[in-house]
Amino acid sequence: MVYRQIFHQHSPDTCFINVNVGGFKRRMEHTVLKRFPDTRLGRLLCCSSKEAILELCDDFSPSDMEYYFDRNPQFFCYILNFYLSGKIHLVDGLCVVSFFQEIEYWGIKERHLDFCCTNKFQELMELADGRCFDERSGELQLHSSDSSSEELSAVKDNTDLFEGSWCADFRRNIWIRLENPGYSASAKAMAVASISVVLVSIVAMCVHSMPDFHQLDVNEKEIENPVLAFLEGVCVLFFSAEFVLRMAVAPSAIKFLCSPLNIIDLMSVLPFYVITAWDTVDEGESTELKNVGKVVQILRLMRVFRILKLARHSAGLRSLGTTLRHSSREVGMLVLFMSVGVSMFSALIYCVEKESQESDLQNIPIGWWWATISMTTVGYGDTFPTTFAGKLIGTLCIICGLLIVALPVTSIFNKFSEFYQRQRHTVSS
């Protein structure tokens, strides 16, 4: 049987179909449905086989020309009103996500919303998307191994990772105490000791840069201050022991070494051993050794990584890292906007300032520097326009910089607030 022929048995004015939605029956004329041929009911009129019809409805009775839909019968009243008026309204008491799913099922587009419901629908959808983002962020934080708090949750919830390994119970107890400062008094003591050593190391590094603490040997060669060198050795010894202990009791050594926080721990102690090895072979004055010595000086600066060790005990720093990792699009937009603005205003300021003898903005590269510090409202004052036109461009540059920086930063700040609240909730629980 060709079902399309059934539709043409009647005159165009009397042709109709019977729709049964969850027990609610309604007879609908073809002329009404043909006004919206892209909707689900409108597409039924074009079906030429039972298989095609059953792709659009749940069941079909050829004798009664009745189509069955297992959907919400109360919502179908709004669908009927849509076919009669051409507009659909929000349903009071119905979740906006369910409303969107229903109109999507019936093939109705958002543009068919009446003007009185459009703004409310957009606001509710944005709110629902924000809640979905919270849930996705929570899932990412629970299953990602990049954050120490996430690793902590994984350890507490998956203690079977230690089963079958050597000294499972002993390693599990140490691991939990190292990763969860709130587990016991001993865990808190270990966390306080770790933070204290990090702070001592940072203070020693800052003091070492002060000329008053520099010392020279008999050959007028600069040497390490004995007290600062001793503090440095004690701190590195503590960091090394902590790193080795964590790796020894970790459920998986591979995952442990791939964690960003553990990579930071390794980078904070590695320069000390490289410098020590260099000092033991630094007996000649060859050019190659001098070049290596410059590399060693760079390695000394890598001790600044110890500051990042505080992220292991700070929910705020972990939230900052997670925010930057999940805000790559917003950060990219910020860089793009700044690049466009700097390029445009540097060219403009060059055009109006190049004839002025008093101005330092005599080329576009200098204009880049001026535009960057102006758009970010830093304003060092080392370069500035001197002409009236240049001052007008500078004013416009500062105003545009405020807008350009503020737009993406708002989104990044909102994400940071969400991640920070989740981090605190994870730590407290």
Closest CA to 58 of 71, 45, 68, 48: 68
CA distances from 189 to 13, 240, 244, 271 (A): 86, 18, 19, 27
User: For residue 195, what pLDDT is reported?
Assistant: 82
Query: Identity (one letter) of the amino acid at 78?
Result: Y
- Provide long-range contacts, Cβ within 8 A and 24+ apart, for 185-193: 191/313, 193/238
Average pLDDT over residues 208-233: 75
Residues 149-169 pLDDT 10s: 444 444 444 455 666 567 777
CATH number of 1-70: 3.30.710
Res 395: pLDDT: 92
**What's the whole-number average pLDDT of the chain?**
76
Contact call for residues 262 and 305 (beta carbons, < 8 A) = no
Give the per-residue pLDDT at 92.
78
Percent with pLDDT over 70 in the chain = 74
Higher pLDDT, 164 or 316: 316
Domain ranges, ordered by start, for the chain:
1-70, 148-313, 326-428
Identify the band that residue 396 occupies on the pLDDT scale cut at 50, 70 and 90: very high
pLDDT for 392 beyond 90: yes
> Which range has the worst mean pLDDT, 12-16, 74-78, 134-138?
134-138
Write the single-letter amino acid at 128.
Answer: A
At position 308, the amino acid (one-letter code) is L
Name the pTM for this structure: 0.46
Residue of 352, 355, 350, 381 lying closest to 366 (CA atoms): 350
Does 146 score more than 50 pLDDT?
Answer: no
Over the stretch 69-89, which tens digit does the pLDDT of each residue have?
Answer: 988 888 888 888 888 888 888
Mean pLDDT computed over 329-337: 83
Nearest to 104 by CA among 71, 77, 129: 71
Residue 24 in contact with residue 73, Cβ under 8 Å? yes
Which residue's entry shows tokens 């076919």? 83
Angstrom CA distances, 163 to 169, 248, 252, stand at 8, 15, 12
The three-point CA angle 49-52-54 to 5° equals 110
Q: For residues 90 and 116, what is the distance between their CA atoms, to the nearest angstrom?
A: 9
- Amino acid 62: pLDDT: 81
The one-letter amino acid at 292: V
- Residue that is written with structure tokens 């049987």 in the block: 1
Q: What CATH topology corresponds to 326-428?
A: Helix Hairpins (1.10.287)
CA 334 and chain centroid, separation: 14
Which helix (H) or strand (E) covers residue 5, if one does?
Answer: helix 3-7
Write down the pLDDT at residue 10. Answer: 43
- Letter string b/e over residues 77-94, b meaning 16 or more CB atoms within 10 A of that residue's CB: ebbbebbeeeebbbbeee
Question: How would you list the strands of the sheet with 16-21, edge to edge?
Answer: 24-29, 16-21, 66-69, 59-61
Q: For the ranges 122-126, 158-162, 173-177, 338-342, which has the lowest average pLDDT?
A: 158-162
Q: Which residues are CB-neighbours of 38 under 8 A, at least 6 positions away? A: 107
